């Protein structure tokens, strides 16, 4: 029989080995060393000894599972959520909060040091409540014909299978208490087999639900949802396709939230920051770092619906926000009028394309804020350098692209004078941060 050589095929030692973890990564995985190789082990904490079995082996690292834990770290805590071991939404509820946040801050500091050669502190950390912080959550819906039952929940780790969620302590309590009655309501619909997902959002104006349905709902199903809406004082929106959002009941008040004393109205499909407590602190920190003055002209790139843009506008001569999603630009323009801010312009432009011909690019600015997606802001960094602003605040959801983009500013002579770790998503592997760059070497608190 012909055998084919595969250069990428590596055998995995399935034997049991004993290790002691000496560190934790940002994802909450224990890190151990064995025979010169780094091993990542979900569920193991620093200083814990365990018998493990390798599940994947590469040239420089391996992954493993715990077969038997032989000791417990003082940083190990009892997860509050009964679904923790099955649900893929959280990865670190077994880790004490202080270890979680300090690990993420250390990971951020080491990454910046490695990529830029600059030693910085990510403290003080912008903190979140340990639980009850999430004001937005999307849950999948699946109907199982054999069991004749609906599943509503988050996906298992590395799986498309849903975990039926009855409790979720990271949600705001106002949303968590809706889970079981909402499940009962949806389970009783005639169209239960053709539901896609459901999204729960807590606005300052009250809770709302967006229900994605794949087929038109029957009148009796809409009536069932209306009764639920009145009984639980929840605004319900129906999403028959990805673009058509229909309020179930006439007279629904458009949802809104407050930031820095301003009222921002948004569509249920608009992006808003999931963690309101951290968002308020993040905006306040950005405004303080920019040291806004009445004569400033400020550019806000990847501005969304104006979460930073509008608070900035209350303190400066002029602000420009640039965003690639037309619906968010429309929300920003509406909220500028709502808050009587006449010194704000929003532009709908693709910041990943050639920006030099875009109308905003011909204007001058002395301060810049940017809040890009995970891919970072490679397409605009050269233009920011060309503007030569006094200060740049970079808000990041990916420390790798933050470090990469930072090098453009550093090579242009800017100083990295401040970094903060944002505890936006406790108990998860997400690492959010913000950094301040200045043309002059300044000290910050």
φ, ψ of residue 98 in degrees (nearest 5): -60, -40
Gap between the Cα atoms of 326 and 333, Å rounded: 11
Q: Binding residue per annotation — 185?
A: no
Phi and psi at 240, nearest 5°, equal -75, -30
Cβ neighbours of residue 410 under 8 Å, at least 6 residues apart? 116, 118, 416, 437
CA distance 245 to 332: 19
pLDDT tens-digit series, residues 293-313: 999 999 999 999 999 999 999
d(CA 263, CA 308): 13
266 known member of a binding site: no
Alpha carbon distances (Å) from 406 to 117, 181, 373, 388: 11, 48, 15, 15
156 annotated binding-site participant: no
> Is residue 273 part of an annotated ligand binding site?
yes
pLDDT confidence of residue 443: 63
Pairing status of strand 195-203 against strand 136-144: antiparallel
Closest CA to 359 of 369, 373, 345: 345
429-445 residue pLDDT tens: 999 999 999 998 776 55
Residue 212 near residue 237, CB atoms below 8 Å: no
Given 21, 195, 397, 424, the catalytic residue: 397
303 catalytically annotated: no
Report whether 371 belongs to an annotated binding site: yes
Distance CA 321, CA 343 (A): 11
Handedness of CA 325, 328, 332, 337 (dihedral sign): positive
Q: Which domains does the chain have, with CATH numbers?
A: 16-69 (2.40.50.140), 102-129+275-438 (3.40.50.150), 136-256 (2.40.50.1070)
Neighbours of 170 (CB within 10 A): 25
Please state, in angstroms and rounded to a whole number, the distance separating the CA atoms of residues 101 and 5. 45
245-247 β-sheet, strand order: 162-164, 149-155, 136-144, 195-203, 206-213, 235-239, 245-247
pLDDT tens by residue, the chain, 445 residues: 444 444 454 555 678 999 999 999 888 899 999 988 999 999 999 999 999 999 999 888 999 999 999 999 999 999 999 999 899 999 999 999 999 999 999 999 999 999 999 999 999 999 999 999 999 999 999 998 888 899 999 998 878 889 999 999 999 999 999 999 999 999 999 999 999 999 999 999 999 999 999 999 999 999 999 999 999 999 999 999 766 899 998 777 899 999 999 999 999 999 999 999 999 999 999 999 999 999 999 999 999 999 999 999 999 999 999 999 999 999 999 999 999 999 999 999 999 998 989 999 999 999 999 999 999 999 999 999 999 999 999 999 999 999 999 999 999 999 999 999 999 999 999 999 999 999 987 765 5
User: What pTM was computed for the model?
Assistant: 0.92
- Do 217 and 151 contact (CB within 8 A), yes or no? no
Residue of 11, 96, 13, 9 lying closest to 52 (CA atoms): 13
Please name the residue ranges forming H helices in 339-428: 378-387, 399-411
Collect all residues with Cβ–Cβ distance below 8 Å to 316 and sequence separation of at least 6: 292, 293, 294, 295, 296, 297, 298, 343
Q: At what angle do helices 219-231 and 179-187 cross, to 10 degrees?
A: 160
Contact criterion met (CB below 8 Å) for 206 and 238: no
Per 3-state DSSP, what percentage of the chain is helix, strand, and coil (rounded to 5)? 25, 30, 45
**Interior angle at CA 308, CA 306 and CA 311, nearest 5:** 95
Distance CA 303, CA 322 (A): 6
Question: What is the per-residue pLDDT for 3?
Answer: 43
Q: Is 87 annotated as a binding residue?
A: yes
Say what the pLDDT of residue 444 is. Answer: 57
Q: Which residues contact 288 (CB under 8 A, 6 or more apart)?
A: none
Determine if residue 4 is labeled as part of a ligand binding site.
no
Instruction: Assess contact for 415 and 441: CB atoms under 8 A.
Output: yes
DSSP class of residue 361 equals: G
Q: Report which DSSP code applies to 166.
A: S
At 252 the pLDDT is: 77
Selection from 342, 344, 274, 273 nearest residue 307 by Cα: 273
Q: Give, for 230, the enclosing helix (H) or strand (E).
A: helix 219-231
Q: Dihedral angle at the C-alpha atoms of 88, 94, 96, 100, nearest 10 degrees?
A: -30
* CA-to-CA dists, residue 321 to 195, 276, 306, angstroms: 37, 21, 7
Q: What is the pLDDT of residue 12?
A: 57
* 335 known member of a binding site: no
């Amino acid at each position: 029989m012909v055998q084919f050589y595969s250069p990428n095929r590596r055998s995995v030692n399935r034997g049991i080995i004993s290790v002691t973890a000496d560190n934790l990564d940002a994802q909450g995985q224990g890190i151990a060393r064995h025979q010169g190789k780094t091993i990542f082990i979900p569920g193991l904490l620093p200083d814990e000894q365990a018998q493990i079995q390798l599940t994947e082996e590469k040239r420089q690292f391996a992954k493993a599972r715990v077969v038997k834990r032989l000791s417990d770290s003082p940083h190990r805590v009892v997860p509050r959520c009964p679904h923790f071991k099955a649900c893929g939404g959280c990865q670190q509820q077994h880790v004490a909060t202080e270890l979680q946040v300090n690990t993420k801050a250390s990971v951020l500091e080491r990454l910046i040091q490695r990529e830029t050669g600059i030693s910085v502190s990510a403290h003080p950390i912008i903190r979140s409540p340990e639980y009850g912080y999430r004001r937005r959550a999307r849950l999948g819906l699946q109907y199982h014909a054999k069991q004749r039952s609906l599943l509503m929940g988050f996906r298992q780790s590395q799986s498309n299978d849903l975990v039926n969620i009855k409790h979720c302590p990271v949600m705001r309590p106002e949303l968590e208490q809706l889970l079981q009655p909402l499940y009962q309501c949806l389970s009783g619909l005639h169209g239960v087999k053709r539901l896609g997902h459901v999204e729960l959002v807590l606005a300052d104006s009250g809770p709302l639900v967006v229900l994605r349905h794949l087929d038109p709902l029957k009148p009796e199903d809409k009536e069932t949802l209306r009764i639920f809406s009145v009984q639980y004082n929840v605004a319900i929106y129906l999403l028959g396709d990805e673009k058509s959002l229909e309020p179930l009941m006439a007279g629904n008040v458009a949802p809104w939230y407050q930031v820095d004393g301003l009222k921002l109205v948004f569509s249920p499909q608009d992006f808003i920051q999931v963690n309101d407590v951290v968002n308020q602190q993040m905006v306040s920190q950005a405004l303080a770092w920019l040291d806004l003055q009445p004569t400033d002209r400020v550019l806000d790139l990847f501005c969304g619906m104006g979460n930073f843009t509008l608070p900035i506008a209350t303190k400066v001569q002029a602000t420009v926000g640039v965003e690639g999603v037309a619906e968010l630009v429309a929300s920003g323009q509406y909220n500028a009028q709502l808050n009587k801010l006449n010194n704000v312009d929003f532009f709908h432009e693709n910041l990943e394309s050639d920006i030099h011909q875009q109308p905003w690019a011909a204007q001058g600015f002395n301060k810049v804020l940017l809040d890009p997606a995970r891919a970072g802001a490679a397409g605009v960094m050269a233009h920011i350098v060309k503007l030569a602003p006094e200060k740049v605040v970079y808000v990041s959801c990916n420390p790798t692209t933050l470090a990469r983009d930072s090098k453009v500013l550093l090579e242009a002579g800017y100083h990295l004078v401040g970094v903060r770790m944002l505890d936006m998503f406790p108990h998860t592997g997400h690492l959010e941060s913000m950094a301040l760059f200045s043309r002059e070497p300044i000290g910050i608190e």
